Chain A
Protein backbone atom coordinates (compact mmCIF):
# COMPACT_ATOMS: atom_id res chain seq x y z
CA UNK A 1 0.00 0.00 0.00
CA UNK A 2 1.52 3.28 -1.10
CA UNK A 3 1.46 6.20 1.28
CA UNK A 4 -1.02 8.81 0.26
CA UNK A 5 0.16 12.25 -0.77
CA UNK A 6 -1.62 15.33 0.54
CA UNK A 7 -3.41 17.30 -2.17
CA UNK A 8 -2.17 20.87 -2.51
CA UNK A 9 1.47 20.13 -1.63
CA UNK A 10 4.77 20.30 -3.46
CA UNK A 11 4.99 16.49 -3.26
CA UNK A 12 1.62 16.13 -4.98
CA UNK A 13 2.36 18.44 -7.89
CA UNK A 14 5.76 16.77 -8.36
CA UNK A 15 3.98 13.41 -8.53
CA UNK A 16 1.57 14.82 -11.11
CA UNK A 17 4.58 15.85 -13.21
CA UNK A 18 5.89 12.26 -12.97
CA UNK A 19 2.51 10.80 -13.96
CA UNK A 20 2.11 13.21 -16.89
CA UNK A 21 5.58 12.47 -18.18
CA UNK A 22 5.00 8.72 -17.86
CA UNK A 23 1.67 8.76 -19.68
CA UNK A 24 1.62 7.88 -23.36
CA UNK A 25 -2.06 8.71 -23.47
CA UNK A 26 -1.43 12.20 -22.12
CA UNK A 27 1.50 12.70 -24.50
CA UNK A 28 -0.74 11.75 -27.43
CA UNK A 29 -3.80 13.75 -26.43
CA UNK A 30 -1.84 16.88 -25.49
CA UNK A 31 0.76 16.80 -28.24
CA UNK A 32 -0.32 20.23 -29.52
CA UNK A 33 -0.94 21.85 -26.14
CA UNK A 34 1.13 24.85 -25.11
CA UNK A 35 0.20 26.59 -21.90
CA UNK A 36 0.85 26.77 -18.19
CA UNK A 37 -1.73 26.48 -15.47
CA UNK A 38 -2.29 27.36 -11.84
CA UNK A 39 -4.50 24.98 -9.90
CA UNK A 40 -5.81 27.30 -7.22
CA UNK A 41 -7.08 25.39 -4.19
CA UNK A 42 -9.52 27.33 -2.03
CA UNK A 43 -9.21 26.63 1.72
CA UNK A 44 -12.99 26.67 2.39
CA UNK A 45 -14.18 23.43 4.00
CA UNK A 46 -10.67 22.03 4.33
CA UNK A 47 -7.72 21.89 6.69
CA UNK A 48 -5.86 24.40 4.52
CA UNK A 49 -5.39 27.81 6.11
CA UNK A 50 -4.83 29.74 2.92
CA UNK A 51 -5.13 29.42 -0.86
CA UNK A 52 -2.62 27.06 -2.44
CA UNK A 53 -1.28 27.68 -5.93
CA UNK A 54 0.00 24.61 -7.76
CA UNK A 55 1.85 25.42 -10.95
CA UNK A 56 2.37 23.19 -13.99
CA UNK A 57 3.97 24.17 -17.26
CA UNK A 58 2.56 21.92 -19.99
CA UNK A 59 4.21 21.79 -23.37
CA UNK A 60 3.47 19.41 -26.23
CA UNK A 61 2.44 16.41 -24.20
CA UNK A 62 5.04 16.88 -21.47
CA UNK A 63 5.18 18.67 -18.14
CA UNK A 64 8.27 20.88 -18.16
CA UNK A 65 7.97 22.25 -14.65
CA UNK A 66 5.83 21.82 -11.55
CA UNK A 67 5.97 23.81 -8.33
CA UNK A 68 4.01 25.15 -5.39
CA UNK A 69 5.62 28.59 -5.15
CA UNK A 70 5.91 30.42 -1.82
CA UNK A 71 4.84 33.58 -3.60
CA UNK A 72 1.91 33.08 -6.02
CA UNK A 73 3.00 36.08 -8.06
CA UNK A 74 6.08 34.09 -9.10
CA UNK A 75 4.21 32.73 -12.15
CA UNK A 76 1.75 34.38 -14.48
CA UNK A 77 0.19 31.30 -16.08
CA UNK A 78 -2.11 31.44 -19.08
CA UNK A 79 -4.86 29.54 -17.24
CA UNK A 80 -6.14 29.17 -13.71
CA UNK A 81 -8.50 26.47 -12.51
CA UNK A 82 -9.87 27.28 -9.05
CA UNK A 83 -12.01 25.33 -6.65
CA UNK A 84 -12.34 23.99 -3.16
CA UNK A 85 -10.58 20.82 -2.01
CA UNK A 86 -13.97 19.12 -2.15
CA UNK A 87 -14.52 20.13 -5.79
CA UNK A 88 -11.08 18.91 -6.84
CA UNK A 89 -11.74 15.66 -4.96
CA UNK A 90 -15.03 15.18 -6.79
CA UNK A 91 -13.29 15.43 -10.13
CA UNK A 92 -10.14 13.47 -9.30
CA UNK A 93 -11.53 10.82 -6.94
CA UNK A 94 -15.24 10.55 -7.57
CA UNK A 95 -15.42 10.65 -11.35
CA UNK A 96 -17.16 14.01 -11.75
CA UNK A 97 -16.75 14.95 -15.42
CA UNK A 98 -14.36 17.94 -15.56
CA UNK A 99 -16.54 19.64 -18.16
CA UNK A 100 -19.53 19.23 -15.87
CA UNK A 101 -17.53 20.64 -12.94
CA UNK A 102 -16.76 23.72 -14.98
CA UNK A 103 -20.29 24.11 -16.36
CA UNK A 104 -21.70 24.03 -12.82
CA UNK A 105 -18.93 26.45 -11.72
CA UNK A 106 -17.58 24.03 -9.10
CA UNK A 107 -14.29 24.62 -10.83
CA UNK A 108 -13.75 28.10 -12.18
CA UNK A 109 -11.63 28.57 -15.21
CA UNK A 110 -9.85 31.71 -16.37
CA UNK A 111 -7.85 32.11 -19.55
CA UNK A 112 -8.58 31.68 -23.22
CA UNK A 113 -11.82 29.67 -23.18
CA UNK A 114 -11.80 28.97 -26.90
CA UNK A 115 -8.38 27.34 -26.50
CA UNK A 116 -9.68 25.08 -23.72
CA UNK A 117 -12.72 24.14 -25.81
CA UNK A 118 -10.40 23.10 -28.63
CA UNK A 119 -8.38 20.89 -26.28
CA UNK A 120 -10.93 18.95 -24.27
CA UNK A 121 -9.13 15.69 -25.05
CA UNK A 122 -5.92 16.82 -23.39
CA UNK A 123 -7.83 18.25 -20.42
CA UNK A 124 -9.48 14.86 -19.92
CA UNK A 125 -6.14 13.07 -20.00
CA UNK A 126 -4.68 15.59 -17.56
CA UNK A 127 -7.44 14.76 -15.09
CA UNK A 128 -6.93 11.06 -15.79
CA UNK A 129 -3.26 11.39 -14.74
CA UNK A 130 -4.36 13.03 -11.47
CA UNK A 131 -6.39 9.91 -10.68
CA UNK A 132 -3.19 7.80 -10.66
CA UNK A 133 -1.84 9.70 -7.65
CA UNK A 134 -2.79 8.13 -4.31
CA UNK A 135 -4.17 11.29 -2.82
CA UNK A 136 -5.25 12.37 0.63
CA UNK A 137 -7.65 15.29 0.34
CA UNK A 138 -7.34 17.44 3.49
CA UNK A 139 -11.06 17.97 4.04
CA UNK A 140 -12.28 19.24 7.40
Chain B
Protein backbone atom coordinates (compact mmCIF):
# COMPACT_ATOMS: atom_id res chain seq x y z
CA UNK B 1 0.00 0.00 0.00
CA UNK B 2 1.23 3.45 -0.86
CA UNK B 3 -0.13 6.83 -1.90
CA UNK B 4 0.27 9.29 -4.74
CA UNK B 5 -0.69 12.70 -3.42
CA UNK B 6 -1.08 15.74 -5.58
CA UNK B 7 -2.67 19.17 -5.41
CA UNK B 8 -5.09 20.18 -8.12
CA UNK B 9 -2.58 21.59 -10.59
CA UNK B 10 -3.53 24.58 -12.70
CA UNK B 11 -0.78 25.16 -15.28
CA UNK B 12 0.08 27.06 -18.41
CA UNK B 13 -0.50 30.60 -19.58
CA UNK B 14 -2.97 32.62 -17.46
CA UNK B 15 -3.18 29.91 -14.80
CA UNK B 16 -3.42 32.70 -12.21
CA UNK B 17 -6.91 33.49 -13.53
CA UNK B 18 -8.09 30.39 -11.70
CA UNK B 19 -7.87 32.43 -8.50
CA UNK B 20 -10.89 34.45 -9.69
CA UNK B 21 -13.07 31.40 -9.18
CA UNK B 22 -12.14 30.75 -5.54
CA UNK B 23 -14.93 30.39 -3.02
CA UNK B 24 -14.12 31.79 0.40
CA UNK B 25 -13.93 34.81 2.68
CA UNK B 26 -10.42 35.64 3.73
CA UNK B 27 -7.10 34.85 2.09
CA UNK B 28 -3.73 35.23 3.77
CA UNK B 29 -0.67 35.53 1.50
CA UNK B 30 2.64 34.23 2.84
CA UNK B 31 5.48 35.62 0.78
CA UNK B 32 8.82 37.44 0.75
CA UNK B 33 9.87 41.07 0.17
CA UNK B 34 11.06 40.35 -3.39
CA UNK B 35 7.54 39.31 -4.40
CA UNK B 36 6.23 42.65 -3.16
CA UNK B 37 8.90 44.45 -5.17
CA UNK B 38 8.17 42.48 -8.34
CA UNK B 39 4.48 43.34 -8.02
CA UNK B 40 3.44 39.69 -7.71
CA UNK B 41 1.73 40.22 -4.37
CA UNK B 42 -0.48 42.96 -5.84
CA UNK B 43 -1.20 40.79 -8.85
CA UNK B 44 -2.31 37.81 -6.75
CA UNK B 45 -4.19 40.03 -4.29
CA UNK B 46 -6.12 41.58 -7.20
CA UNK B 47 -7.27 38.16 -8.35
CA UNK B 48 -8.28 37.21 -4.81
CA UNK B 49 -10.19 40.47 -4.40
CA UNK B 50 -11.97 39.79 -7.71
CA UNK B 51 -13.08 36.50 -6.19
CA UNK B 52 -14.60 38.48 -3.31
CA UNK B 53 -12.00 37.62 -0.68
CA UNK B 54 -10.49 39.96 1.92
CA UNK B 55 -6.71 39.74 1.65
CA UNK B 56 -4.01 39.83 4.34
CA UNK B 57 -0.27 39.51 3.74
CA UNK B 58 2.81 38.31 5.59
CA UNK B 59 5.65 39.47 3.31
CA UNK B 60 8.55 38.74 5.66
CA UNK B 61 9.67 35.21 4.81
CA UNK B 62 13.46 35.15 4.58
CA UNK B 63 15.53 32.72 2.48
CA UNK B 64 15.86 29.52 4.55
CA UNK B 65 12.93 30.48 6.80
CA UNK B 66 13.58 30.19 10.50
CA UNK B 67 11.38 28.59 13.11
CA UNK B 68 10.91 32.04 14.64
CA UNK B 69 9.52 33.42 11.37
CA UNK B 70 7.08 30.52 11.26
CA UNK B 71 5.85 31.35 14.76
CA UNK B 72 5.47 35.05 13.94
CA UNK B 73 3.58 34.35 10.72
CA UNK B 74 1.30 31.85 12.45
CA UNK B 75 0.41 34.47 15.08
CA UNK B 76 -0.55 36.95 12.34
CA UNK B 77 -2.60 34.21 10.72
CA UNK B 78 -4.42 33.47 13.97
CA UNK B 79 -5.36 37.14 14.22
CA UNK B 80 -6.50 37.36 10.58
CA UNK B 81 -8.45 34.06 10.56
CA UNK B 82 -8.13 33.13 6.87
CA UNK B 83 -9.98 30.28 5.21
CA UNK B 84 -7.42 30.26 2.39
CA UNK B 85 -3.67 30.43 2.84
CA UNK B 86 -1.64 31.40 -0.21
CA UNK B 87 2.07 30.53 -0.37
CA UNK B 88 3.58 32.80 -3.02
CA UNK B 89 7.26 32.67 -3.96
CA UNK B 90 10.08 30.17 -4.13
CA UNK B 91 10.53 27.15 -1.88
CA UNK B 92 11.08 29.27 1.21
CA UNK B 93 7.74 31.09 0.98
CA UNK B 94 5.80 27.93 0.16
CA UNK B 95 7.52 25.91 2.90
CA UNK B 96 6.84 28.72 5.36
CA UNK B 97 3.16 28.83 4.33
CA UNK B 98 2.84 25.09 4.98
CA UNK B 99 4.45 25.25 8.41
CA UNK B 100 2.50 28.39 9.45
CA UNK B 101 -0.67 26.62 8.36
CA UNK B 102 0.16 23.70 10.66
CA UNK B 103 0.61 26.11 13.58
CA UNK B 104 -2.50 28.07 12.64
CA UNK B 105 -4.55 24.88 12.81
CA UNK B 106 -2.72 23.73 15.95
CA UNK B 107 -1.86 26.83 18.03
CA UNK B 108 1.10 26.21 20.29
CA UNK B 109 2.50 23.39 18.17
CA UNK B 110 6.30 23.30 18.11
CA UNK B 111 7.40 23.30 14.43
CA UNK B 112 9.92 20.59 15.35
CA UNK B 113 7.02 18.35 16.29
CA UNK B 114 5.48 18.40 12.81
CA UNK B 115 5.96 14.86 11.54
CA UNK B 116 4.55 12.58 8.87
CA UNK B 117 3.59 9.76 11.24
CA UNK B 118 0.79 11.36 13.24
CA UNK B 119 -2.39 13.13 12.10
CA UNK B 120 -2.03 16.91 12.01
CA UNK B 121 -5.71 17.80 11.63
CA UNK B 122 -5.32 20.37 8.85
CA UNK B 123 -8.22 21.88 6.85
CA UNK B 124 -10.46 22.52 9.84
CA UNK B 125 -9.83 26.24 9.41
CA UNK B 126 -8.22 26.79 6.03
CA UNK B 127 -6.97 25.29 2.80
CA UNK B 128 -3.72 25.97 1.01
CA UNK B 129 -2.90 27.38 -2.42
CA UNK B 130 0.71 27.52 -3.54
CA UNK B 131 2.03 29.67 -6.37
CA UNK B 132 5.66 28.97 -7.26
CA UNK B 133 7.65 31.86 -8.75
CA UNK B 134 10.80 29.80 -9.34
CA UNK B 135 11.08 26.58 -11.31
CA UNK B 136 12.80 24.00 -9.18
CA UNK B 137 11.93 23.56 -5.54
CA UNK B 138 8.83 21.44 -6.22
CA UNK B 139 7.44 22.54 -2.88
CA UNK B 140 4.15 23.29 -4.66
CA UNK B 141 3.69 19.53 -5.08
CA UNK B 142 5.17 18.04 -1.90
CA UNK B 143 4.28 17.62 1.75
CA UNK B 144 7.76 18.56 2.89
CA UNK B 145 8.91 21.75 4.52
CA UNK B 146 12.50 22.70 5.26
CA UNK B 147 12.98 25.15 8.12
CA UNK B 148 16.14 26.41 9.74
CA UNK B 149 16.78 26.15 13.41
CA UNK B 150 18.96 29.24 13.71
CA UNK B 151 19.91 28.38 17.29
CA UNK B 152 21.49 25.09 16.20
CA UNK B 153 22.56 26.13 12.67
CA UNK B 154 20.69 23.13 11.36
CA UNK B 155 18.03 22.46 8.78
CA UNK B 156 14.84 20.93 10.04
CA UNK B 157 13.42 18.82 7.25
CA UNK B 158 9.95 17.75 8.15
CA UNK B 159 6.36 17.71 6.95
CA UNK B 160 3.13 15.82 6.90
CA UNK B 161 1.21 14.21 4.06
CA UNK B 162 -1.66 16.54 5.00
CA UNK B 163 0.51 19.49 4.00
CA UNK B 164 0.21 18.80 0.27
CA UNK B 165 -1.50 21.94 -1.02
CA UNK B 166 -5.10 21.87 -2.25
CA UNK B 167 -4.27 23.87 -5.36
CA UNK B 168 -0.97 24.61 -7.11
CA UNK B 169 -0.97 27.44 -9.66
CA UNK B 170 1.89 26.75 -12.06
CA UNK B 171 1.83 29.91 -14.17
CA UNK B 172 4.91 30.39 -16.41
CA UNK B 173 4.61 34.19 -16.31
CA UNK B 174 5.90 34.20 -12.73
CA UNK B 175 9.33 32.59 -13.13
CA UNK B 176 9.92 34.54 -16.36
CA UNK B 177 11.77 37.27 -14.50
CA UNK B 178 14.25 34.96 -12.76
CA UNK B 179 17.87 35.95 -13.45
CA UNK B 180 20.05 33.30 -15.17
CA UNK B 181 21.88 32.20 -12.02
CA UNK B 182 18.65 31.58 -10.10
CA UNK B 183 17.20 29.83 -13.14
CA UNK B 184 20.20 27.49 -13.19
CA UNK B 185 20.22 26.85 -9.44
CA UNK B 186 16.53 26.06 -9.24
CA UNK B 187 16.45 24.11 -12.50
CA UNK B 188 19.22 21.82 -11.31
CA UNK B 189 17.33 21.31 -8.06
CA UNK B 190 14.44 19.98 -10.15
CA UNK B 191 16.82 17.63 -11.94
CA UNK B 192 18.13 16.36 -8.61
CA UNK B 193 14.56 15.74 -7.42
CA UNK B 194 13.82 13.79 -10.59
CA UNK B 195 16.92 11.60 -10.34
CA UNK B 196 16.79 11.01 -6.59
CA UNK B 197 13.03 10.44 -6.73
CA UNK B 198 13.54 7.81 -9.41
CA UNK B 199 16.30 5.99 -7.53
CA UNK B 200 15.36 6.28 -3.84
CA UNK B 201 14.01 3.41 -1.78
CA UNK B 202 10.38 4.63 -1.78
CA UNK B 203 10.17 4.93 -5.59
CA UNK B 204 7.04 3.56 -7.22
CA UNK B 205 5.41 3.35 -10.64
CA UNK B 206 3.54 6.62 -10.26
CA UNK B 207 6.52 8.67 -9.11
CA UNK B 208 8.77 7.01 -11.71
CA UNK B 209 6.62 8.30 -14.54
CA UNK B 210 6.79 11.94 -13.53
CA UNK B 211 10.49 11.75 -12.57
CA UNK B 212 11.53 10.53 -16.02
CA UNK B 213 9.52 13.20 -17.82
CA UNK B 214 10.85 15.90 -15.51
CA UNK B 215 14.47 14.87 -16.09
CA UNK B 216 13.95 14.90 -19.84
CA UNK B 217 12.43 18.40 -19.75
CA UNK B 218 15.27 19.80 -17.65
CA UNK B 219 17.97 18.46 -19.97
CA UNK B 220 16.13 19.83 -22.97
CA UNK B 221 14.96 23.22 -21.74
CA UNK B 222 17.18 24.40 -18.87
CA UNK B 223 20.04 25.63 -21.10
CA UNK B 224 17.54 27.62 -23.18
CA UNK B 225 15.86 29.15 -20.12
CA UNK B 226 19.25 30.15 -18.70
CA UNK B 227 20.58 31.61 -21.96
CA UNK B 228 17.45 33.50 -22.86
CA UNK B 229 15.04 34.30 -20.06
CA UNK B 230 12.49 35.52 -22.60
CA UNK B 231 12.22 32.07 -24.20
CA UNK B 232 8.60 31.53 -23.19
CA UNK B 233 8.49 27.90 -24.25
CA UNK B 234 11.60 27.03 -22.23
CA UNK B 235 10.22 28.89 -19.20
CA UNK B 236 6.92 27.05 -19.39
CA UNK B 237 8.55 23.64 -19.84
CA UNK B 238 10.93 24.26 -16.93
CA UNK B 239 8.04 25.38 -14.72
CA UNK B 240 6.18 22.17 -15.53
CA UNK B 241 9.35 20.11 -15.06
CA UNK B 242 9.82 21.49 -11.56
CA UNK B 243 6.29 20.60 -10.50
CA UNK B 244 6.53 17.13 -12.10
CA UNK B 245 9.81 16.50 -10.29
CA UNK B 246 8.17 17.73 -7.09
CA UNK B 247 5.36 15.22 -7.55
CA UNK B 248 8.00 12.59 -8.23
CA UNK B 249 10.27 12.95 -5.23
CA UNK B 250 7.38 14.14 -3.07
CA UNK B 251 5.64 10.81 -3.53
CA UNK B 252 8.88 8.88 -3.15
CA UNK B 253 11.77 10.57 -1.35
CA UNK B 254 14.96 12.51 -1.86
CA UNK B 255 18.30 10.88 -1.08
CA UNK B 256 22.00 11.33 -0.36
CA UNK B 257 22.66 14.43 -2.49
CA UNK B 258 19.89 16.21 -0.60
CA UNK B 259 21.23 15.24 2.83
CA UNK B 260 24.66 16.60 1.84
CA UNK B 261 23.17 19.66 0.15
CA UNK B 262 21.00 20.53 3.16
CA UNK B 263 24.05 20.25 5.37
CA UNK B 264 26.17 22.46 3.13
CA UNK B 265 23.37 25.00 2.87
CA UNK B 266 22.97 25.24 6.64
CA UNK B 267 26.67 25.88 7.22
CA UNK B 268 27.94 27.74 4.14
CA UNK B 269 24.62 29.15 2.88
CA UNK B 270 25.08 27.82 -0.64
CA UNK B 271 21.74 28.06 -2.55
CA UNK B 272 19.85 24.80 -2.22
CA UNK B 273 19.74 23.80 -5.89
CA UNK B 274 23.40 24.58 -6.47
CA UNK B 275 24.34 22.53 -3.41
CA UNK B 276 22.31 19.40 -4.17
CA UNK B 277 23.21 19.38 -7.88
CA UNK B 278 26.88 19.74 -7.02
CA UNK B 279 26.76 16.55 -4.94
CA UNK B 280 24.48 14.59 -7.27
CA UNK B 281 27.18 13.21 -9.63
CA UNK B 282 29.37 12.17 -6.67
CA UNK B 283 26.49 10.37 -4.97
CA UNK B 284 25.57 8.57 -8.22
CA UNK B 285 29.16 7.34 -8.50
CA UNK B 286 29.13 6.28 -4.86
CA UNK B 287 25.81 4.43 -5.06
CA UNK B 288 26.78 2.78 -8.34
CA UNK B 289 29.88 1.33 -6.66
CA UNK B 290 27.75 -0.40 -4.00
CA UNK B 291 26.37 -3.93 -4.00
CA UNK B 292 22.74 -3.13 -4.65
CA UNK B 293 21.13 -3.10 -8.06
CA UNK B 294 20.74 0.47 -9.22
CA UNK B 295 18.74 2.08 -11.95
CA UNK B 296 20.54 5.18 -13.06
CA UNK B 297 20.95 3.43 -16.41
CA UNK B 298 17.17 3.41 -16.86
CA UNK B 299 17.18 7.20 -16.70
CA UNK B 300 20.05 7.32 -19.18
CA UNK B 301 18.23 4.97 -21.52
CA UNK B 302 15.12 7.17 -21.36
CA UNK B 303 17.26 10.20 -22.16
CA UNK B 304 18.88 8.42 -25.10
CA UNK B 305 22.33 8.28 -23.49
CA UNK B 306 24.67 5.27 -23.79
CA UNK B 307 23.46 2.68 -21.27
CA UNK B 308 24.18 -0.84 -22.48
CA UNK B 309 25.10 -1.84 -18.90
CA UNK B 310 24.14 -0.36 -15.51
CA UNK B 311 27.70 0.94 -15.08
CA UNK B 312 27.80 2.56 -18.49
CA UNK B 313 24.38 4.11 -17.87
CA UNK B 314 25.45 5.58 -14.54
CA UNK B 315 28.63 7.01 -16.08
CA UNK B 316 26.60 8.52 -18.94
CA UNK B 317 24.24 10.15 -16.48
CA UNK B 318 27.08 11.61 -14.41
CA UNK B 319 28.68 12.99 -17.57
CA UNK B 320 25.40 14.45 -18.79
CA UNK B 321 24.74 16.16 -15.44
CA UNK B 322 28.23 17.66 -15.40
CA UNK B 323 27.93 18.82 -19.01
CA UNK B 324 24.59 20.43 -18.23
CA UNK B 325 25.96 22.08 -15.08
CA UNK B 326 28.88 23.52 -17.03
CA UNK B 327 26.61 24.70 -19.80
CA UNK B 328 24.50 26.67 -17.34
CA UNK B 329 27.55 28.02 -15.50
CA UNK B 330 27.45 25.94 -12.35
CA UNK B 331 30.48 24.79 -10.32
CA UNK B 332 31.53 21.13 -10.38
CA UNK B 333 33.56 21.00 -7.17
CA UNK B 334 32.86 22.20 -3.68
CA UNK B 335 36.05 24.26 -3.71
CA UNK B 336 34.78 26.11 -6.77
CA UNK B 337 31.35 26.48 -5.16
CA UNK B 338 32.67 28.01 -1.97
CA UNK B 339 34.99 30.35 -3.83
CA UNK B 340 37.97 32.29 -2.55
CA UNK B 341 36.17 33.50 0.55
CA UNK B 342 36.39 30.05 2.11
CA UNK B 343 39.82 28.50 2.62
CA UNK B 344 40.67 24.81 2.81
CA UNK B 345 41.23 25.34 6.54
CA UNK B 346 37.70 26.80 6.85
CA UNK B 347 36.33 23.75 5.05
CA UNK B 348 38.30 21.34 7.23
CA UNK B 349 37.12 23.13 10.36
CA UNK B 350 33.51 22.71 9.23
CA UNK B 351 33.85 19.10 8.10
CA UNK B 352 32.72 17.46 11.34
CA UNK B 353 29.57 19.56 11.36
CA UNK B 354 28.96 18.96 7.64
CA UNK B 355 29.13 15.20 8.23
CA UNK B 356 27.02 15.25 11.39
CA UNK B 357 24.29 17.35 9.74
CA UNK B 358 24.18 15.16 6.65
CA UNK B 359 23.91 12.04 8.81
CA UNK B 360 21.08 13.53 10.83
CA UNK B 361 19.08 14.17 7.65
CA UNK B 362 16.53 11.39 7.23
CA UNK B 363 16.92 11.19 3.45
CA UNK B 364 20.50 9.94 3.84
CA UNK B 365 19.12 6.43 4.32
CA UNK B 366 16.88 6.49 1.25
CA UNK B 367 19.31 5.46 -1.48
CA UNK B 368 20.50 2.08 -2.70
CA UNK B 369 23.72 2.49 -0.73
CA UNK B 370 23.85 4.07 2.73
CA UNK B 371 27.21 5.62 3.57
CA UNK B 372 29.03 5.15 6.85
CA UNK B 373 30.22 8.21 8.74
CA UNK B 374 33.69 7.86 7.21
CA UNK B 375 32.21 7.57 3.75
CA UNK B 376 30.12 10.72 4.22
CA UNK B 377 33.31 12.52 5.22
CA UNK B 378 35.13 11.18 2.16
CA UNK B 379 32.24 12.18 -0.09
CA UNK B 380 32.56 15.77 1.13
CA UNK B 381 36.33 15.67 0.69
CA UNK B 382 36.19 14.24 -2.82
CA UNK B 383 33.50 16.74 -3.78
CA UNK B 384 35.69 19.53 -2.41
CA UNK B 385 38.57 18.50 -4.66
CA UNK B 386 36.34 17.55 -7.57
CA UNK B 387 37.66 13.96 -7.57
CA UNK B 388 35.71 11.05 -8.98
CA UNK B 389 34.50 8.64 -6.31
CA UNK B 390 36.64 5.51 -6.12
CA UNK B 391 35.33 3.87 -2.92
Residues of A within 8 A of B (CB): 28-29, 31, 97, 99-100, 102-106, 108-109, 113-114, 117-121, 123-124
Contact = CB atoms under 8 A, between A and B. Distances in A.
B117 A113 contact: yes
Complex A-B, nearest 5 residue pairs according to Cβ-Cβ distance, in ascending order: A113-B115, A118-B360, A120-B365, A120-B362, A117-B362
B106 interface: no
B113 interface: yes
Contact of A118 (B161, B362, B373): B362
A97 B201 contact: yes
Interface in B97-121: 112-113, 115-118
B390 to A, nearest CB: 21
Contact of B117 (A97, A105, A118, A123): A105
A128 to B, nearest CB: 10
Interface in B195-216: 201-202
A104 B3 CA distance: 9
B370 A121 contact: yes
7 contacts: A29-B370, A29-B372, A100-B2, A108-B117, A113-B113, A117-B362, A124-B365
A120 B255 CA distance: 12
B359 A102 contact: no
B213 to A, nearest CB: 24
Contacts of B2: 100, 104
Interface string B1-30: 111000000000000000000000000000
Q: Which among A106, A109, A113 has the greatest number of chain B C-beta atoms within 10 A?
A: A113
Contacts of A106: 1
B300 to A, nearest CB: 25
B206 to A, nearest CB: 14
Contacts of B372: 28-29
B183 to A, nearest CB: 32
A109 B364 contact: no
B117 A102 contact: yes
Contacts of B366: 99, 120
Contact of B364 (A105, A108, A120): A120
Contacts of A121: 359, 364-365, 370
